[in-house]
């Protein structure tokens, strides 16, 4: 088994909170309300994943599953410049895929896993993990089937993470799901996905907005990290101090 590594987020405060960065061979889930920075962290990790390990990087390629269409190549280029990396080279190392259904999301994972046998990868992003499940299993009485399929997907993701020793970063919305998918009550402190997701995620991070461009990250659930908070900024260069 390869050595577990920690990937820098671009903020030393956030890295410290995480015990040095986001760990490989594990699933890290970020949840929080809209604009809390979930996608900006994902985009920043796309760059740091490609940096040398001596700079907190992962020295590998990136696989990015986008279910919401919020991946922005121009943001990648902007963040790459901050780290003095060539934007085109960075973009070429990102295997990007837009998923439209849960089934499609499964197919993409298979495709990505096949790619990982050929080339070294450091990061897999799924932004967001639950969005398509909520669409495809929205009916009354479909919740238990949804959770079963979700569990299958997460165990496949975990297997990929461990097999290739990569960082997995997934995002999640916050809505209380009363079951049955009938009505969704907004609850800024409750990630969706229930126990299945809670158990599959190694580390869960709760993001919220602070003043201006400030964001606050709290360790919500981790097997080895103490509960705590870190403040970081989102700027032109992505996740910053
Ligand atoms: P959602 O739930 O809607 O997907 P999210 O948590 O993914 O939200 P992000 O898209 O990561 O939220 O964060 C959006 C915020 O990032 C913007 O509101 C803005 O404050 C900040 N941001 C985005 N681009 C830039 C930029 N180029 N320069 C500075 N800040 C930016
Ligand atoms: Mg987002």
Confidence of residue 182 (pLDDT cuts 50, 70, 90): very low
| CA torsion through residues 58, 235, 219, 113, sign | negative
202 Cα: distance to centroid of ligand 2 (angstroms): 20
Contact at 8 Å (CB) between 32 and 234? no
For residues 67 and 221, what is the distance between their CA atoms, to the nearest angstrom? Answer: 25
pLDDT at residue 2 tops 80: no
Torsion of CA 128, 208, 233, 22, to 10 degrees: -50
Helices (H), 50-141: 73-82, 87-92, 102-118, 131-136
pLDDT at residue 101 tops 70: yes
Contact at 8 Å (CB) between 188 and 208? yes
Atom 26 of ligand 1, nearest CA residue: 236
pLDDT at residue 72 tops 90: yes
Residues present in the chain in total: 241
pLDDT at residue 1 tops 70: no
Which one has a higher pLDDT value, 24 or 188? Answer: 24
Least confident of 48-57, 97-106, 168-177: 168-177
90 Cα: distance to centroid of ligand 1 (angstroms): 20
67 lines ligand 1 (CB under 6 A): no
pLDDT at residue 4 tops 70: yes
Contact at 8 Å (CB) between 226 and 237? no
Residue from 10, 37, 192 whose mutation best tests the ligand 1 pocket (most atoms within 8 A of CB): 37
90 lines ligand 1 (CB under 6 A): no
Mean pLDDT of 131-151: 93
For residues 229 and 112, what is the distance between their CA atoms, to the nearest angstrom? Answer: 33
CA of 234, closest atom in ligand 1: 30
For residues 120 and 126, what is the distance between their CA atoms, to the nearest angstrom? Answer: 18
Q: In Å, how far are 1, 104, 158, 227 from 165, measured between CA atoms? A: 8, 24, 10, 25
Q: Give the rounded percent of residues in the chain with a pLDDT score beyond 90.
A: 80
CA of 171, closest atom in ligand 1: 7
User: pLDDT tens for residues 184-195?
Assistant: 445 656 777 888
């Amino acid at each position: 088994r390869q050595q577990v590594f920690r990937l820098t987020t671009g903020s030393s405060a956030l890295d410290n909170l995480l015990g040095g960065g986001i760990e490989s061979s594990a699933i890290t889930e970020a949840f929080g309300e809209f604009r809390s920075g979930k996608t900006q962290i994902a985009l920043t990790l796309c760059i740091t994943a490609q940096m040398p390990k001596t700079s907190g990087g992962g020295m590998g390629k990136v696989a990015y599953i986008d279910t919401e269409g919020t991946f922005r190549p121009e943001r990648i280029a902007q963040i790459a410049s901050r780290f003095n990396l060539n934007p085109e080279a960075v973009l070429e190392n990102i295997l990007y895929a837009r998923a439209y259904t849960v089934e499609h999301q499964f197919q993409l994972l298979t495709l990505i896993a096949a790619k990982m046998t050929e080339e070294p990868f450091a990061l897999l992003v799924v932004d967001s993990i639950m969005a398509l499940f909520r669409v495809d299993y929205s009916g009354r009485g479909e919740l238990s089937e949804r959770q079963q399929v979700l569990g299958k997907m997460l165990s496949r993701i975990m297997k990929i993470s461990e097999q290739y020793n990569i960082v997995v970063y997934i995002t999640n919305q916050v809505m209380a799901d009363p079951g049955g998918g009938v009505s969704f009550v907004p609850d800024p402190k409750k990630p969706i996905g229930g126990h299945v997701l809670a158990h599959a995620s190694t580390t869960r991070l709760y993001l919220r907005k602070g003043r201006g461009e400030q964001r606050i990250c709290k360790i919500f659930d981790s097997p080895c990290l103490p509960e705590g908070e870190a403040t970081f900024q989102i700027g032109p260069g992505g996740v910053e101090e």
